[in-house]
């Protein structure tokens, strides 16, 4: 028996969420005394296989020559590669969330989605009602597990090497008519919100969309951070929905979360309160965000943020 | 065009929950406000827009435990034509795969061209049933879509995945799950609320029984972060204290 991990990659680059998922799978495998093997699907796989080996994976089943994502094909490759595994772990990314249910149906396995912890073999921690409640669930049978981004640490580098076991690329049924017609890579070089180590978010207190360009984005860029937003800001049309942090947006768990002009509604706190360090900048000293802030700056963002950007640039230049 | 919507009724996302005495789950009672799943509401709205554009019929499918009718009538007031409700507490609280099987069983009888669902259930935080129903029916799925174009023989949909924008094409039938930016759901008008009371709500039973493959053994409030440290003073002072913390203590820079 062994545990399979889908190591999601795009154009030869391993997703950070894949390595966190590897860490989660390794935690469970160690409790069972069994091994973990990786599954890689990409155009060229050699570098990815090496990277997996570096993080302690001994065997990778790889499907090379795949130039475009196709959910049904990915699900089939993963299912075929994991017939003998006791559990399959996938990152809870858009792709992972799309593929995992198909794999679970094909294997008639027990799905456990979006885990945030592993207590024992088959016993997982999850969060429900938009992070307001944490639960412990016990799952039986063969498992298909998805792992929330930003919760598990990256696995340690052990400097090993993985053996590569090519698996055939399945052709897609002609009765399954879907194709990914186009991929547009996001503009700019800010990190992706759910993968970023630092997130700078703005709320209604910023005063208007123009202040995102003037204050939030420069602060994010000075810190090498992703940009987030509160629901009020997204609903007002100031920022795109993809930036919304909270119960009906994205759950983030960065090392540092900077909340600027965000009061801290319960549904926003649900999306970010697991950050390691929380910085809040707000004029209202009674704002609920200060209850969770490690650094609660009471002040006007129009004064504080430019000075902060300046100070960060100085420190970084030194 | 026939459009089915997988619709879950969930506690309001603003609910402040209490735990049950066994600390295995939250308490829902008469004070709990039940609403259309926030993402399912985008699915309902999109289905109605497709119907308004190309004609057809919108039918919702819900598995429930007795709190659903009011919200289903709201969906009907928005423009849903008919609803199927499988009432079973056991199934409603079952594992996601069993739920997907029950939904697929009902959807199969509808012969729908498009099956819409929300991208995620906000109560259980599962993004499972959309793709699972597609797999059970042997049809394609495109999840978390933020735009949709429907033609007679297919759809084009876009979404954001890991920071990339992806554009998919699919023939019909297809399962689509809705993200927030897909549309702005309408508020039902009073005459439509009245009309909704008379629309058909079919109560069905399922032969599928829950598997009991997952048991929730504990529920708890997340550990509270020990925050609450405020920094006050002049702009220079607060920036200096904050920078000192971020560099010396947290070692961010």
B134 contacts A298? CB cut-off 8 A:
no
> In this structure, are strands B154-161 and B141-150 parallel, antiparallel, or unpaired?
antiparallel
Distance CA B84, CA B59 (A): 7
Query: Measured between alpha carbons, how far is A7 from A61 in angstroms, rounded to an integer?
Result: 10
What is the residue whose two structure tokens read 């709500």?
B201
DSSP H/E element including B111 = none
Query: Closest Cα of chain B to A129: distance in Å?
Result: 4
Nearest-CA distance B153 → chain A (Å): 11
Choose from A129, A190, A250, A317 for mutation: most chain B CBs within 10 A. Answer: A129
Residues of A in contact with B215 (CB under 8 A): 137-138
**In angstroms, rounded to a whole number, what is the distance separating the alpha carbons of residues A170 and A84?**
18
Confidence band for A168, pLDDT divided at 50, 70 and 90: confident
List of chain B residues whose C-beta atoms are within 8 Å of the C-beta of residue A178: 140-142, 168-171, 174
**In terms of domains, do A105 and A212 share one?**
no
Supply the pLDDT for residue A185.
67
A262 has a chain B CB within 8 A of its CB: no
Q: What is the pLDDT of residues A192-204, one digit of tens each?
A: 898 899 999 999 9
Q: Where are the domains of chain B?
A: 2-204
Task: Kindly determine whether residue B180 and residue A244, on different chains, have CB atoms separated by under 8 Å.
Answer: yes
Taking residues A157-180, report their average pLDDT: 74
A137 touches B: beta carbon within 8 Å = yes
| Cα atoms in the Cβ-side hemisphere of radius 13 Å centred on A14 | 25
Alpha-carbon gap, residue A189 to B246, rounded angstroms: 23
Residues B158-202: tens digit of each pLDDT: 999 988 889 999 999 999 999 998 999 999 999 999 999 999 999
Higher pLDDT: B30 or A102? It is A102
DSSP-derived pairing of the beta strands B154-161 and A178-185: unpaired
All residues of chain A having their beta carbon less than 8 Å from the beta carbon of residue B251 are: none
Average pLDDT over residues B71-75: 98
Give the model's pLDDT for residue A175. Answer: 45
Homologous superfamily, domain B2-204 = HUPs (3.40.50.620)
Give per-residue pLDDT as tens, A247-271: 888 999 999 999 999 999 988 998 9
Q: How far is CA A137 from the centre of its chain?
A: 21
Cis bond before residue A308 (omega within 30° of 0) = no
A179 in a structural domain: no
The domain of A137 spans 2-166
Q: Compute the nearest-CA separation of B220 from chain A (Å).
A: 5
Instruction: Name every residue whose Cβ is closer than 8 Å to that of residue B251 and which is 6 or more positions away in sequence.
Output: none
Angstrom distance (rounded) from CA B219 to CA B32: 18
User: Which among A245, A256, A254 has a CA at the least distance from the CA of A294?
Assistant: A256
Name which of A140-154, B101-115, B218-232, B236-250 the model is least confident about: B218-232
Tell me the shortest Cα–Cα distance from B163 to chain A, in angstroms.
Answer: 6
Residues A117 and A61 in one domain: yes
Residues A148 and A218 in one domain: no
Domain match, A141 and A199 both: no
- Torsion-angle region of B208 (φ positive above 0: left; ψ -120 to 50: alpha; else: beta): beta
pLDDT above 70 as % of chain A: 96
Determine the distance in angstroms separating the CA of A162 from the nearest CA of chain B, rounded to an integer.
Answer: 26
In a domain, A178, yes or no: no
Which residues of chain B have a CB within 8 Å of the CB of A122? Answer: none
Whether the Cβ atoms of residue B150 and residue B54 lie closer than 8 Å to each other: yes
pLDDT beyond 80 at A181: no
Q: What are phi and psi of A143, to 5 degrees?
A: -115, 145
Average pLDDT score, chain B: 94
Distance from CA of A244 to the nearest CA of B (A): 10
* Nearest-CB residue to B247 (from A92, A307, A315): A315
pLDDT score at B214: 94
Sorted by sequence, the CB contacts under 8 Å of residue A74 that are 6+ apart come out as A41, A95, A99
**How much is the ipTM here?**
0.94
Contact B42, B182 (CB under 8 A): yes
* Residue B25: per-residue pLDDT: 95
- Both A127 and A243 in one domain: the answer is no
Across the A:B interface, residue pairs with CB atoms under 8 Å apart total 277
- The reply to whether A186 falls in a domain is no
Quick one: which H or E segment has residue A80?
A: helix A71-81
Q: Indicate whether A6 and A128 sit together in one domain.
A: yes
Cross-chain residue pair A105–B154, CB shorter than 8 Å: no
pLDDT band at A174 (very low <50, low <70, confident <90, very high): very low
- Indicate the range of A88-97, A240-249, A292-301 predicted with least confidence: A240-249
State the best of A128, A190, A229 to mutate against chain B, taking most chain B CBs within 10 Å: A128
Q: How confident is the model over A48-83, as pLDDT tens digits?
A: 999 999 999 999 999 999 888 989 889 999 999 998
Q: What is the pLDDT of residue A186?
A: 60
Task: Give me the CATH number covering residue A234.
Answer: 3.40.50.1220
In the block, which residue shows the tokens 């063969």?
A: A142
Asked if residue A180 is part of any domain, the answer here is: no
Q: What is the CATH number of the domain that holds A148?
A: 3.40.50.620
Q: Report if residue A181 sits inside a domain.
A: no
Question: Do A122 and A232 belong together in one domain?
Answer: no
Cβ atoms A264, A258 nearer than 8 A: no
3-state SS, residue A36? strand
Please tell me which of A156-165, B33-42, B150-159 the model is most confident about, judged by mean pLDDT.
Answer: B33-42
Q: Do A104 and B246 touch (CB under 8 A)?
A: no
Give the integer Cα–Cα distance in Å for A202 and A259: 6
| Shared-domain flag, residues A119 and A250 | no
- The number of folded domains in chain A is 2
Interatomic CA distance for residues A61 and A3, integer angstroms = 12
Give the mutation candidate from B22, B144, B148, B163 for the A interface (greatest A CB count, under 10 A): B163
Q: Which of A137, A144, A63, A69 is nearest to A100 (CA)?
A: A144
Q: Is residue A188 part of a domain?
A: no
Nearest by CB to A297, from B39, B129, B231: name it.
B231
Q: Which residue has the tokens 């991929």?
A: A183
Q: What are phi and psi of A50, to 5 degrees?
A: -60, -45
What is the DSSP secondary-structure string of B46-103?
HHHHHHHHH--EEEEEEEESSS-HHHHHHHHHHT--EEEEEE-HHHHTS-HHHHHHHH
| DSSP three-state, residue A6 | strand
Give the SS3 label for residue A161.
Answer: coil
Q: Same domain, yes or no, for A150 and A271?
A: no
Strands, E, within A58-211: which ranges? 59-63, 87-91, 110-115, 117-120, 123-128, 133-139, 143-147, 163-166, 178-185, 198-202
3-state SS, residue A60: strand
Q: For position A180, what pLDDT does the model report?
A: 73
By C-alpha distance, the chain B residue nearest A15 is: B162
Measured between beta carbons, the chain B residues lying within 8 angstroms of A127 are 125, 222
> Does residue A201 share a domain with residue A155?
no
Q: Are residues A145 and A208 in the same domain?
A: no
- CA of A190: which chain B residue's CA is closest? B163
Residue A177 pLDDT exceeds 50: yes
Is residue A222 situated within a structural domain?
yes
Chosen for mutation from B8, B94, B225 (greatest number of chain A CBs closer than 10 Å) is B225
pLDDT digits (tens, 9 = 90+) for B90-136: 898 899 999 999 999 999 999 999 999 999 999 999 999 999 999 99
Backbone angles phi, psi at B8, to 5 degrees: -110, 140
What is the C-alpha separation between A190 and A309, in angstroms, rounded?
A: 16
- For B233-243, what is the mean pLDDT? 95
Q: Which residues contact B195 (CB under 8 A, 6 or more apart)?
A: B76, B77
Judgement on whether residues A121 and A249 belong to the same structural domain of the protein: no
Q: What tens digit of pLDDT does each residue of A41-57 get? A: 999 999 999 999 999 99
Residue A187 has pLDDT above 80, yes or no: no
Q: Could you tell me how far CA B125 lies from the centroid of its own chain?
A: 9
Q: What is the average pLDDT across A279-302? A: 95
**Beta carbons of A127 and B125 less than 8 Å apart:** yes
Average pLDDT over residues A5-24: 96
Mean pLDDT of chain A: 92
Residue with tokens 């409030």: B221
- Work out whether strand A2-6 and strand A87-91 pair parallel, antiparallel, or are unpaired: parallel
């Amino acid at each position: 028996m062994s545990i399979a991990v889908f190591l999601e990659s795009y154009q030869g680059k391993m997703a950070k969420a894949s390595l966190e998922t590897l860490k989660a799978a390794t935690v469970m495998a160690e409790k069972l005394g069994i091994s973990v093997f990786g599954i890689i699907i990409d155009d060229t796989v050699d570098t990815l296989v090496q990277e997996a080996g570096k993080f302690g994976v001994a065997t990778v089943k790889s499907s090379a020559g795949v130039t475009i994502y196709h959910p049904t094909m990915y699900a089939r490759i993963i299912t075929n590669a994991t017939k003998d595994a006791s559990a399959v772990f996938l990152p809870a990314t858009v792709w992972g969330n799309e593929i995992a249910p198909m794999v679970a149906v094909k294997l008639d396995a027990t799905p456990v989605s979006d885990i945030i912890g592993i207590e024992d073999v088959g016993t997982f921690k999850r969060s429900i009602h938009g992070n307001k409640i944490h639960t412990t669930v016990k799952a039986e049978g063969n498992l298909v597990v998805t792992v929330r981004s930003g919760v598990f640490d990256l696995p340690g580098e052990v400097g090993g090497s993985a053996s590569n076991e090519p698996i055939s690329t399945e052709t897609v049924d002609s009765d399954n008519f879907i194709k990914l017609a186009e991929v547009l890579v996001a503009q700019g070089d800010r990190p992706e919100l759910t993968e970023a180590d630092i997130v700078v978010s703005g709320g209604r207190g910023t005063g208007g969309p123009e202040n995102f360009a003037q204050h939030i984005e420069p602060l994010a860029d000075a810190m090498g951070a992703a940009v987030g937003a509160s629901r009020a800001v997204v609903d007002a049309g100031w920022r795109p929905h993809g930036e919304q942090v909270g119960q009906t947006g994205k759950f983030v768990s960065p090392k540092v979360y900077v909340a600027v002009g965000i009061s801290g509604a319960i549904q926003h706190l649900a999306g970010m309160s697991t950050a390691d360090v929380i910085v809040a900048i707000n004029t209202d000293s009674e704002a609920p965000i200060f209850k969770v802030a490690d650094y609660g700056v009471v002040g006007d963002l129009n004064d504080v943020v430019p000075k902060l950007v300046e100070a960060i640039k100085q420190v970084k230049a030194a | 065009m026939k459009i089915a919507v997988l619709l879950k009724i969930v506690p309001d996302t603003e609910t402040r929950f209490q735990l049950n005495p066994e600390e295995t789950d939250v308490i829902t009672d008469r004070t709990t406000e039940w609403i259309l799943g926030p993402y399912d509401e985008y699915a309902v709205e999109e289905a109605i827009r497709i119907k308004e554009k190309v004609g057809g019929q919108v039918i919702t499918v819900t598995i429930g435990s007795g709190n659903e009718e009011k919200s289903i009538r709201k969906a009907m007031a928005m423009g849903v034509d008919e609803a199927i409700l499988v009432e079973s507490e056991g199934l409603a609280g079952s594992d996601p795969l069993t739920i997907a099987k029950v939904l697929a069983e009902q959807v199969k009888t509808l012969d729908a061209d498009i099956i819409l669902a929300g991208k995620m259930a906000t109560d259980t935080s599962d993004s499972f049933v959309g793709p699972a129903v597609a797999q059970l029916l042997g049809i394609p799925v495109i999840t978390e879509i933020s735009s949709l174009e429907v033609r007679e023989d297919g759809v084009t949909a876009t979404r954001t995945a890991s920071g990339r924008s992806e554009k998919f094409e699919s023939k019909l039938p297809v399962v689509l799950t809705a993200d927030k930016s897909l549309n702005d759901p309408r508020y039902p008008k009073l005459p439509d609320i009245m009309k909704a009371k008379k629309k058909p709500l079919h109560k069905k039973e399922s032969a599928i029984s829950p598997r009991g493959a997952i048991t929730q053994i504990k529920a708890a409030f997340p550990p509270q972060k020990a925050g609450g440290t405020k920094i006050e003073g002049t702009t220079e002072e607060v920036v200096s204290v904050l920078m000192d913390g971020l560099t010396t203590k947290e070692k961010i820079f």
